[in-house]
A and B are shown apart, each in its own frame.
Chain A
Amino acid sequence: MERNEILKRLSEIAKDVFDNDEVELAEATTADDVEEWDSLSHLNLISDAEDEFGITFTLAEISDSKNVEELVDAIIKHLGDK
């Protein structure tokens, strides 16, 4: 799957999880850029992304990836492993 495609699908999840239709994720986006992105909604984002892509993140990926670029990297890695 292309990075752009993953980013697009992540953006859709983010709109839903953060309950805000204006949220657009870019590779450079971090938790600090999105007001609603706190530790609890981060878990929701992770959980929904796992369902969407059919993968399971590692603890390190969950704890560290409060930015979009690392999240996309992790998703690509897991999709490649399948």
Chain B
Amino acid sequence: MYTFKSLRKASKQPIADGARRIAILGNISTQFLAVAIRGYAALENLPLSVYDADYNQIEAQLLDPNSEVYSFVPNNILLWLGTDKLYEEFLDLPLENRSGFAESVLSKITMYWDLISQHCKATILQMNFTEIDDKVFGNYSCKVDLAFVFQIRKLNFILAEAMEQRKNVYPVDLLSVQLQLGTSTFYDAPLYYNAKMTVSTDALPYVAKAVIDVQKALIGRIKKCVILDLDNTLWGGVIGDEGIENIEIGELGRGHVFTDFQRWLKQLKECGIILCVCSKNNEDIAKKPFEEHNEMILRLSDIALFVANWEDKASNIRLIQKTLNISMDSIVFIDDNPFERNLVRQMIPEIEVPELPEDPALYLGYLQGQNYFETASFTGAGSDRTKLYQAEFERTKLMMSFESIDGYLESLEMLGEAKPFEESKFSRIAQLTQRSNQFNLRTVRYTDADIQSIASNPNYVTLYYTLRDKFGDHGLVGVIIMKKKNDDELFIDTWLMSCRVLKRGMEEYIVNCFMREAKNRGFKRIYGEYIPTPKNAMVKDIYKTMGFTEISENNYVMDVDKYEEKKIYIRSN
């Protein structure tokens, strides 16, 4: 972890143009946190401009529509009510009022949220609450509702429930930082009494990390895939030498450690992370435990891609990355062998390679401490994408058997659908705008709340696209947001597509549908723009390919009447 001193140095670097903006509001002093966040962002190469409001100005700033915070036009507002301050307020209440403390604090917080939503478009980052146990009744405090420890725990719980209802509020889990470091490291009493700062300088880098981790997820810098080594990573021992009866998993030897590690990985997979295997082994031997060992938690059906051979791991990882069609920086490679880790790091600098502790008992704690899997959305059950990828390999096999691509596409029996945004899809649409990097013409990121407001705004024409074929359902794979320039003209604000469905004619299907939609609504012209990023070169010429006319660099137009529908093999539902 960075030291506060190094963050302080980094915080002085100039901020690049186009930086995101965050405003910090607290009932305690936030000056050092602002420095730490600025520095951490700079070191993580995430340009961030930070506005730090004066201490205890939350209400004044949020009530005044012309306040400094609103004038700053932040992307995010970080709200931080320090437990130390709340504790003082709690004790100043008459005893009989203390049992309603958690509710009263929460109603103040939801009032802040409402004010923010009324006055600006900022997404809210809400710190939860560290704990203070003043031992007023000792252990017995836990069951007395007028004890502070009872109220602060209740507050964290009802805050979580309230956030669940708000699409534009994202938690920053300060409590977990306190738990990770321990209160004696987290808190510095002289610093609090001297400067009203409730977090020690040793703990500030960890708090800054939590805030920046949320920022990264909001702009789509997330991990999507874990590539796993086998011997001494997923089980103890070497399968090729010791055989299936002697590897440590379940009851045997250190097996419990590996079983728990697999349990955690299985949960990641169920929540949408893709698991792959990359092992130096003979394939049939490597697969055996997954098929035959009854104490293995992970089964072959949990692994999207299984690569076991004697090639070097960097080449195998490249193969996996290409097949999954995701970017290298969204992959975590887990291997117990320092030699393999270094080789992969050297050959593929973008990939994340955790420096696993030597003792397998420490793997889990270490990996969880890194917080690799921060996300800004969760669409619930059905996030498991393993089956989708497995179906994809079936398609690839089928494609090999056809002489022409047309024959293959026809045999897929594809069914598409294009519909205006509807409520049940808002989360998935927002998620796609946050995560799609390659097939994304302008890379505009939207939150759930943004999508909701666009869907109900008559100045927008929206379409989401789904696709399925005989092997399975791809789900929602394309998004179009068109903004009215005037009664005759539309501008394509967002066009993105999941790379899973490339080369199926889906691009053409998308254009056919939005042209038809525009025509039905009486529009004459559609404008498109391509904004280059380091990742979206694949769609650089797509408007040209679709028959649009270039009017200036990266800007295109199409007359709705002149558009000729492209030939495709996707039938509409």
List A residues at the B interface (Cβ < 8 Å): 19, 39-40, 43-44, 47-48, 51, 56-59, 62-63
Contact of B8 with A44 in the complex, beta carbons under 8 Å: yes
Q: List 26 A-B contacts (CB under 8 A).
A: A19-B12, A39-B195, A40-B31, A40-B32, A43-B32, A43-B191, A43-B194, A43-B195, A43-B197, A44-B8, A47-B4, A47-B5, A47-B201, A48-B5, A51-B5, A56-B190, A57-B190, A58-B190, A59-B189, A59-B190, A59-B193, A59-B194, A62-B190, A62-B191, A62-B194, A63-B194
Contact partners of B5 in chain A: CB under 8 A: 47-48, 51
A sample of 17 more A-B contacts (CB under 8 A), given A44-B8, A47-B4, A62-B190, is A19-B12, A39-B195, A40-B31, A40-B32, A43-B32, A43-B191, A43-B195, A43-B197, A47-B5, A51-B5, A56-B190, A57-B190, A59-B189, A59-B190, A59-B193, A59-B194, A62-B191
Tally of A-B Cβ pairs under 8 angstroms: 26
List B residues at the A interface (Cβ < 8 Å): 4-5, 8, 12, 31-32, 189-191, 193-195, 197, 201
Contact partners of B190 in chain A: CB under 8 A: 56-59, 62
Q: How far is the CA of A48 from the CA of B4 in the complex (A)?
A: 9
Contact partners of A57 in chain B: CB under 8 A: 190
Contact partners of B189 in chain A: CB under 8 A: 59
Task: Tell me the nearest residue of chain A to B193, going by C-beta.
Answer: A59
Task: Tell me the nearest residue of chain B to A44, going by C-beta.
Answer: B8
Task: Tell me the nearest residue of chain B to A13, going by C-beta.
Answer: B5
**Minimum Cβ distance to chain A for residue B9 (Å):** 8
Q: How far is the CA of A40 from the CA of B36 in the complex (A)?
A: 13
Q: How far is the CA of A40 from the CA of B52 in the complex (A)?
A: 14
Contact partners of B191 in chain A: CB under 8 A: 43, 62
Q: How far is the CA of A34 from the CA of B189 in the complex (A)?
A: 27
Contact partners of B8 in chain A: CB under 8 A: 44
**Minimum Cβ distance to chain A for residue B8 (Å):** 7
Contact partners of B201 in chain A: CB under 8 A: 47
Q: How far is the CA of A51 from the CA of B200 in the complex (A)?
A: 13
**Minimum Cβ distance to chain B for residue A56 (Å):** 8
**Minimum Cβ distance to chain A for residue B212 (Å):** 21
**Minimum Cβ distance to chain A for residue B372 (Å):** 29
Contact partners of B31 in chain A: CB under 8 A: 40
Q: How far is the CA of A58 from the CA of B191 in the complex (A)?
A: 9
Q: How far is the CA of A47 from the CA of B194 in the complex (A)?
A: 13
Q: How far is the CA of A48 from the CA of B193 in the complex (A)?
A: 18
Task: Tell me the nearest residue of chain B to A39, going by C-beta.
Answer: B195
Contact partners of A48 in chain B: CB under 8 A: 5
Task: Tell me the nearest residue of chain A to B31, going by C-beta.
Answer: A40
Task: Tell me the nearest residue of chain A to B3, going by C-beta.
Answer: A51
Q: How far is the CA of A40 from the CA of B35 in the complex (A)?
A: 11
Contact partners of A44 in chain B: CB under 8 A: 8
Q: How far is the CA of A16 from the CA of B190 in the complex (A)?
A: 23
Contact partners of A51 in chain B: CB under 8 A: 5
